[in-house]
Amino acid sequence: MSKPTSHNRISAPEIRARKGTDPIVALTAYSALTARLVDAHADIILVGDSLAMVEHGMSSTLGATLDLMILHGKSVMRASTRALVVVDLPFGSYEAGPKEAFESAARVLQETGCSAVKIEGGARMAETIDFLTGRGIPVMAHVGLTPQAVMTLGGFKIQGRNESDWPRIEADAAAVADAGAFAVVLEGTLEPLAERITNVLSVPTIGIGASSKCDGQVLVLEDMLGFSERVPRFVRRFGDLGQAADEAIRSYAAAVKDRSFPGEAEVYRSKVKNAAG
């Protein structure tokens, strides 16, 4: 594994240099609590706009705002010291053009202290990515299934099932890489297509529902820990903390109701003896 820079945080150029070497580990985190856990093991912490659904109960990622992303980005940065922290630019904060994207990205970097932003979209975003990277803002790109475009995609549909779509998706990945993205997230992409893209691009691909042949992988932390009731097929549950939490909360509720909590060990007693005793 590449060593972190002297300031102990992995940089975007270091991630880019990992192309074709040891796989890149990425996970989402939205809070100081989860960031502290993830930071010890991940190369990249993604403060994804999926927090709109996971943390705030929204029906899609479209409800995430720039203020919300910055709030969670600050929390993650306070608790992490090693991983490269990437914050999503949310829907409506960059699509109007490079100038809007720069203003949003600059604000995110300045207010959170993170090292990079992520932008969804392929060839249509190449000009914006070139504009940002040319002005010192590292960008992670995101192609394939792009949740912010779910309404135009007709839902969360796997991309590349029809080989006639492959040239467009390949062109999207090539365009964002050529524009200066230091890595490209491939989401919900048919495995053979994801492998082809990975083999061609000069920058790392980070798969989520793509292929083990990608240069790295990312998952939503709450999904892989078993907190989410329903998860996509591509998610593997590496733990079942949701059930463990439910059992702990049930036990707490029962202990409160039968007055066994708090017990003798959890209450404060006066150290002064009763004078009459």
pLDDT tens for residues 93-128?
999 999 999 999 999 999 999 999 999 999 999 999
Whole-angstrom CA distances from 129 to 100, 140, 143 are 12, 9, 13
CATH class for the region spanning 12-240: alpha beta
Please enumerate, by residue number, every residue annotated as part of a binding site for Mg(2+): 49, 88, 120
Cross-strand pairs, 87: 47, 117
Question: Average pLDDT of the chain?
Answer: 93
Answering whether pTM is above 0.75, one says yes
Q: What is the maximal distance between C-alpha atoms in the chain?
A: 92
Alpha helices in 80-217 (DSSP H): 98-112, 126-133, 150-153, 166-178, 191-200
Average pLDDT over residues 248-276: 89
Catalytic residue among 170, 187, 195, 222: 187
Q: Is 191 an annotated catalytic residue? A: no
Please enumerate, by residue number, every residue annotated as part of a binding site: 49-50, 88, 118, 120
- Sketch the domain layout of the chain as residue ranges: 12-240
Single-letter code of the amino acid located at 246: D
Average pLDDT over residues 130-139: 98
Average pLDDT over residues 12-39: 97
Whole-angstrom CA distances from 257 to 125, 246, 254, 261 are 57, 17, 5, 8
Average pLDDT over residues 167-196: 97
